Homo-oligomer: A and B are copies of this chain.
């Protein structure tokens, strides 16, 4: 270790990367407009104008692509660019005449411009089969298939309000799946396969037992090995045991798949933040293009587009029309799985006679 090894320096100060117009107008923006989908125009108190051109990315970015973005930035936005909180890239342009050419260039390279205003933006998602050991499904592939299908809603077609889709490949939910207008979530449906021969070596049995939220795991000696057993009726396939102990795997080619959730949000606009709620408990994994999942999401988006009022988020729309109408209008089947049966289940029961008949 060399003497001048740097540690704990933290990230570079953002000032280094801010274009002059932003430094000059920091905290002094007056209003914004959206001259066209994918373009934001922010106007400063003194009239300074900043055009942000927002383009889609696959989130996974090759260094070739990052270098391409760097070149585009050099050409149109004085070398300044940023990413958004949802994996879009934005070019920060001060010269209005460069806005259209920048858009053209991006779209020509396969990075379509859009995602602002009321409609779809990029999907917040996770690693999937590209990198994670926990994944009950792939992430990037489903996202790609979905966004291809819903593309117009990103690019030019409006929806009543913002629709935020999120994707997570397992119940750890490394994304905003629990609070999204529409969420896709990888699910397991088979009991943990226990490697009895090695579990005692790889894992601490007591902490594995303790990891189970429902108490389904019990210590047990199997074929002379110190191991555990899982009570079938008590397992809901959360894979928390697997997170703690690699010798209990949940991944399964036939039983794994996706669930779909709707009606969450995080903004405080109009309504308070809301959790996503179960719409479809299970759809099988259908690589490479997950047609059933894609069709299911399109159906929800289109039913919403037809029924919602302006600005209404998916959850607000459903609250207004009622869940029975949501299931009715989408044709999605309501099953016993939709009725919560975990710790706070009773808080979700309809405890009133206020019903549409």
Contact = CB atoms under 8 A, between A and B. Distances in A.
Interface of A: 268, 272-273, 343-344, 346-347, 351-354
7 contacts: A268-B354, A272-B351, A273-B351, A273-B352, A343-B344, A344-B344, A347-B347
A125 B313 CA distance: 46
Given A272-B352, A343-B343, A343-B344, 11 more contacts: A268-B352, A268-B353, A268-B354, A272-B351, A272-B354, A273-B351, A273-B352, A344-B344, A344-B346, A344-B347, A347-B347
Chain A, interface SS category = loop
A268 B356 CA distance: 13
A6 B347 CA distance: 46
A348 to B, nearest CB: 10
A74 B236 CA distance: 67
Contacts of A346: 344
A287 to B, nearest CB: 37
Contacts of A343: 343-344
A161 B351 CA distance: 22
A273 B351 CA distance: 7
A240 to B, nearest CB: 19
Contacts of A272: 351-352, 354
A344 B344 CA distance: 6
Contacts of A351: 272-273
A344 B342 CA distance: 12
A117 B351 CA distance: 26
A346 B275 CA distance: 14
A343 to B, nearest CB: 8
